[in-house]
Structure 1
Amino acid sequence: MSVSAVVTGIGVTAPNGLGVEDFWAASLRGVSGIGPITRFDPSPYPSRLAGEVPGFIAEDHLPSRLLPQTDHMTRLALVAADWALVDAGVDPHGDDGFDDFGAGVVTASSAGGFEFGQNELRALWSKGSNHVSAYQSFAWFYAVNTGQISIRNGLRGASGVVVGDQAGGLDALAQARRNIRKGARIMVSGGVDASICPWGWVAQLTSGKLSTDDDPDTAYRPFDRAAAGHVPGEGGAILVLEEPAAAMARGARIYGRIAGYGATFDPKPGSARPPGLRRAIESALADANLTPGDIDVVFADAAAVPALDRIEADAITAVFGPRGVPVAAPKTMIGRLNSGAAPLDVVAALLSIRDDVVPPAINVSADPDYHLDLVTEQPRRMSARTALVLARGHGGFNSAMVVRAP
C-alpha cells in the first residue's frame, strides 16, 4: 500500500477569489469569475470570454526585482506558493532547523510564460534583438514556476515540472507524493497557468473547443444539452504536501491526504479501444485501497464538449452506477485553467471534506441522458470524507486522484 502525503498548506489565485477563503466563499455562493476579456482587446477573435484573476497587483506581493524577470503566470504562482507556505506554518527563511534539501517543488504547466514571450517577440520585431530581455531565456519556459518558487524559498530538494494540460495538475501532485515516499519531508506542488494574451489566445483557439458564446451565463455549460465548448481561465492553486508523521510531529493543521492516483493515455483516434478515463479512475481507487462505494463525491473534468462530456459521464456511471455518486463541477464559475484547474479542484475537494458541503455547478441544466447526479445551482450539504478528482488534457491525458479526510 502506498504512503499518503498530507496537505498542510494551500494558496489560491482564482478568477472568483484571491486566497483560500475568498475563493471558497465565492464558490459556495455561486459567484462567477467569467466575463469579457480585459487583458487585451478580444473583439477580433471568435471567443471573447475568460476567467481572469481579479484585483491582483503583483507589486503588492512581490519585490520589485522579480517583476522584470517574471511572466504574469509566474507572479501568480509565486504569490500562491507564498500563501501556501504561510498557511502551512512553514518558514524556509526563518527556521534554523529547516532542511532545505528535504524540501522540493513540482509544478505543472501547460503554456509557460506566453505573455512575456509575446512582449519580447514584439520588441524583436519592432526594435531589434538588442531590445529583447535576457530574462526571455527562462521567463517563457514551462519549468519557470518550479525554478522561481525554489529560488525564492531556498527549496533545494527533488524538483520538477509536468506538462499534461489539464491533467498535469494532478500529475504534479502525484509526483510530489512520490518524492515524499522517497524521503522528502516537504513538497510545494500544484499548478498555475495564465495565457490570456493574443499569442496565448490564438494557441488555445486551435483546439476548436472554446465557446464562442458572449454571454457569461451561458458560455460554459458542461453536461448540458446546450454545451458548446469551454471558457478558458487563469490562475490555479499551490499546495504544501508533507510526510504525515513529520507534519503531525510539528503540530501542523492537516486539510486531508492524497490517498490514491491513477493516470492513463487514450488510444489513437479511430481505434476500437475504449478511452482511458475509466481505467484511470479504477487505478486511483486501487492505489487508495478503496471501492467505488467509498467515494462521497466526484469533481468532474467538465469539458463542455458533448463528445468529451459523454466519455466522462460514461466512465463515471460505469464505475459508480447511474446517478451513483454526487458530481461537482465548480469550474463553471471560473473556466478551465489548464494546469491550474485540477489543483484548484483538489482544493475544493479538501474544503468540501472540511466543511461537509459541495459547491454547485452554475448555469447548468443537467442533461438526464448523462445519468449523473450533478450538483447544480445551490451547494449541497452532505457528509464528505473521500473525494475523487478527475482531469483530462488535450491529446489524450487522463488523471484521477483520491483525497481523503485527515
Structure 2
Amino acid sequence: MSRLPVIVGFGGYNAAGRSSFHHGFRRTILESLNSQARQETLAGLAVMMKLVEVRDGRHCDADGNPLSLAEIENRHATAILDGTLVRRIELRHLDVDAAHWQKNLSISNAQFTTLRKQLPEPLPANWIIEELEDGQVLVTLQDSCDIKVDSYRALPVKSAGQLPSGFEPGELYNSRFHPRGLQLSVVAATDALRSTGIPWTRILEEVQPDEVAVFAGSIMSQLDENGFGGMMQSRLKGGRVTAKQCPLGLNTMPADFINAYVLGSVGTTGSVTGACATFLYNLQKGIDLIVSGQARVVLVGNAEAPLTQECIDGYGAMGALATEEGLRKVGGSDEVDFRRASRPFGDNCGFTLSESAQFVVLMDDELALALGADIHGAATDVFINADGYKKSISAPGPGNYLTLAKAAAAAAQLVGIDGVRQHSFVHAHGSSTPANRITESELLDRVAAVFGIENWPITAVKAFVGHSLASASADQVIAALGSFRYGVVPGIKTIDKVADDVHQRHLSLSTRDREIAGLEVCFINSKGFGGNNATGVILAPSVVERMLRKRHGEAAFAAWQARRETTRANAQAYDEQALHGQFDILYNFGNDLIDDQQLQISEEQIQVPGFNQPLVFKKDARFSDMV
C-alpha cells in the first residue's frame, strides 16, 4: 500500500508577500475579497513593509496612535499596492537608470601621478617612471595604454517581481555575509514549518532520523556580492575573495542551510536542477520518497534571488526579458506601466525576472493523521520528460505534451474522468513570451480535446509575481492551494485581452477572477530551458479527505479531526504573531551539535544523540531472488 504525500504546511515570500495562510494569494485576488479579508491582507503587508508599527498587539502610526484596519487601508493602500507584485526595479537592488559598468578607454602620450605601491606588476615596457616625494611616482606613457573607466548607463529592462518594499529577510535573523538567496531560504523554510502548527521537535519524536528529507536549491546559484558574484568580480575590482563567497555561492546551499541551521536534520538531502521546472523536479523526489516509505516527512522548496545586473544582462542578451521599449510597443504608448510587464497569454514581449522562496511540508498520510496535522492538499505525481533532439536549446518541444497528458491520465484514475473534465484547472507556465503563449496554449488545447475537457480554466501566477526561475512552479503550487481554499481562480489581470494567436477552443482564459465551486485537481505546468518539462498533480483537501476516510475508516478520521483542532489553534497563533511582524525565525547556529563519538552503533540500528527514535536498518528484499 503506497503512502499518500499530503501537504501539511507551506510558506515563503515573493512579490505578493508572505505565502503561509494564503496571504500572498489573497494579495493577487484582492479585488475579489470581502472588506474584512481585504483590510486584514493590507494590514499584514503594511507591517511587513514598515508602514505601520505594532505596539502592545495594536497597529499604530509612527507616533504610537492606534490605527484601525480601515484607517490602515485609507492611509496606506496606495503605497502597499504600489510596493508589491511586479513593478519598476527599486534602488535596493540596482539603479536601472544608471547601472554601473566599465568603459574601455585608450590613452596615449600622457603623464599621470600615482603611488609607487599602486603600480602594476610587471611594469609595462612603454611606461617611464620618475620618482617623486612621499612614495609617489610620475608615469610617462611612450605609447598608448588601454584602461577601464567607471561609467553608467540605463538598462533596457526595468521591471521585476520584488519582495514587498521595505521588507528585508536578512533583518529577521543574524544573517551576516549570507547571500540574499540563503536569507530567503531560512525565512521561507521557517514560515512553512511554523505554518504546520506542530513543533519540529514533536514531529521528530514520531520518525526515525533518516525518515526526514530536504530537497531545495537555486538554479542561478547565489550571484550577489556575498556569493559567486563577489567571488567572480573580486580580481576585476581589485579586491580579495573571502572565505565564504565560494561555499555560500553553491546552488545546493539552500538545502544545506536548512539541514544545518533550521532542522538539524541527518536525513536525506539533495537539490535537483531542471531550469524553470526545478521545484517540480524536487517535488518529484519528495513524492517518491514518501510513496516508497523511505521518508515520512519532506521539506521541498527553492529560493532564487536573481535581481542582479549580471542576471538581467544574461537573460536580456537572449532576448527573453520584457524591455522598456518592448513594453512601449506592446502598450502602444510612450508611457510604460511596469506593473503590467508580465503578460501571460496576452500581447507580450518577454518574461519578468523575480525573487522568491517557497516551501511545502509533505508527510505520509498515516503520520499526518497521527499528529493531527492540517491537510491543505496532496501532491500525488510529477511527470518529467525531455524534448528529444533539438535545434535550439531554448525552444519548446514535444516533452511537455508527454508530461501534461500523463498527468491528466493519472488524475483521472484518482478523481475519475468527470473530475478532470469538470473540476480541474491549470496553473500554466505562462512565461509571458510570444513563443510561450502560442506553444503552451496549443499544448493545453490539444490535451483538453483528447480528454474531453471543455472550457478548461487556465491561470498564470507569473502575471502577479513574475518569473522566479527555480521557484516558479512553487509559486504556482502555493497559488493553487489558495484557489482550493477560496474557490477563486485568479484572472490574468495584467492583460486587456487574450492575444489573437492563443489557442483556446477548449480553454477558458479570463482577465478577471472567477469563482469556481468544487475544484478538485490542479495541474502545475512548467517548461524550462533545455527541454526541462514537468507537470505536477495537486489534489484539493476535499479529495484528500475522501481518500483518508476510505483508507483509514471513520473512527480514525474523526480522531484526526479532533487532534487537528489543537494544530489549527497553534498555527493560527503563529499567523497572528507574524501579522504583527514577529516571524520567529528558526536559525540555530552552533547549538545542539552532534558528537559522532556518541553514536551508538549495533548490527541492527544506530542511536543518534538528540533523536528520540533509533535509525533501524531496513530489511532489503529487493534482490533476494538473486542471492
Residues 251-274 of structure 1: CA deviation (Å, up to 9, x unaligned): 000000012221111233359x95
| Paired position in structure 1 for 2:488 | 357
The DSSP-based 3-state class of the residue aligned with 2:276 is helix
Q: 2:96 aligns with which of 26, 42, 60?
A: 42
AA at the equivalent of 1:51: G
Matches within 5 A, 1:31-180: 33-38=85-90, 39-43=93-97, 44-54=154-164, 55-62=166-173, 64=174, 66-68=175-177, 70-93=178-201, 97=205, 99=207, 100-115=209-224, 116-128=227-239, 131-152=240-261, 153-180=263-290
Q: 2:529 aligns with which of 374, 394, 404?
A: 394
Residues 219-256 of structure 1: CA deviation (Å, up to 9, x unaligned): 221211x2111111110311101111101111000000
Give 1:91 shift. Answer: 2.9
Residues 42-68 of structure 1: CA deviation (Å, up to 9, x unaligned): 233221110111233234422x2x432
AA at the equivalent of 1:208: G
| Paired position in structure 2 for 1:370 | 503
Q: Distance in 2 between matches of 1:96 and 1:350?
A: 26
Give 1:283 shift. Answer: 1.7
Give 1:340 shift. Answer: 0.8
Give 1:323 shift. Answer: 5.2
| Paired position in structure 1 for 2:461 | 330
The DSSP-based 3-state class of the residue aligned with 2:29 is helix
Residues 23-45 of structure 1: CA deviation (Å, up to 9, x unaligned): 02101126661111120122332
| Paired position in structure 2 for 1:231 | 352
Give 1:378 shift. Answer: 2.7
Paired residues, what number?
A: 399
Q: Distance in 2 between matches of 1:112 and 1:384?
A: 36
Is the CA contact (8 Å cut-off) linking 2:89 and 2:96 kept in structure 1? yes
Give 1:125 shift. Answer: 3.2
Is the CA contact (8 Å cut-off) linking 1:2 and 1:287 kept in structure 2? no
Q: Distance in 1 between matches of 2:488 and 2:445?
A: 22
Residues 293-322 of structure 1: CA deviation (Å, up to 9, x unaligned): 265110000022222221111111111138
Is the CA contact (8 Å cut-off) linking 2:170 and 2:180 kept in structure 1? no
Q: Distance in 2 between matches of 1:187 and 1:109?
A: 18
* TM-score under structure 2 length normalisation: 0.60
Per mean C-alpha deviation after superposition, the further-off stretch among 319-328 and 142-151 is 319-328
The DSSP-based 3-state class of the residue aligned with 1:159 is strand
**Structure (1 or 2) with the larger CA radius of gyration:** 2
Is the CA contact (8 Å cut-off) linking 1:28 and 1:379 kept in structure 2? no
Q: Distance in 2 between matches of 1:294 and 1:187?
A: 31
Is the CA contact (8 Å cut-off) linking 1:40 and 1:198 kept in structure 2? yes
Give 1:199 shift. Answer: 2.0
Per mean C-alpha deviation after superposition, the further-off stretch among 52-61 and 387-396 is 52-61
1:279/1:194 Cα in 2 relative to 1: closer, same or farther (>3 Å)?
A: same
Q: Distance in 2 between matches of 1:19 and 1:402?
A: 20
Give 1:9 shift. Answer: 0.7
Give 1:390 shift. Answer: 0.4
1:339/1:285 Cα in 2 relative to 1: closer, same or farther (>3 Å)?
A: same
Let me know the Cα RMSD of the aligned residues.
2.3
* TM-score under structure 1 length normalisation: 0.91
Aligned residues: percent identity? 24
| Paired position in structure 2 for 1:276 | 399
Q: Distance in 1 between matches of 2:202 and 2:425?
A: 39
Is the CA contact (8 Å cut-off) linking 1:357 and 1:384 kept in structure 2? no
Is the CA contact (8 Å cut-off) linking 2:307 and 2:354 kept in structure 1? yes
1:88/1:218 Cα in 2 relative to 1: closer, same or farther (>3 Å)?
A: closer
Structure 1's unaligned 5+ residue stretches are none
Structure having greater relative contact order (Cα 8 Å, sep ≥ 6) = 1
Residues 63-87 of structure 1: CA deviation (Å, up to 9, x unaligned): x2x432x210111111110111111
1:103/1:56 Cα in 2 relative to 1: closer, same or farther (>3 Å)?
A: farther
Residues 169-191 of structure 1: CA deviation (Å, up to 9, x unaligned): 11111111112123211111022
Give 1:2 shift. Answer: 5.9
Residues 88-145 of structure 1: CA deviation (Å, up to 9, x unaligned): 13433566726442211101422010113223334443344xx322112221111010
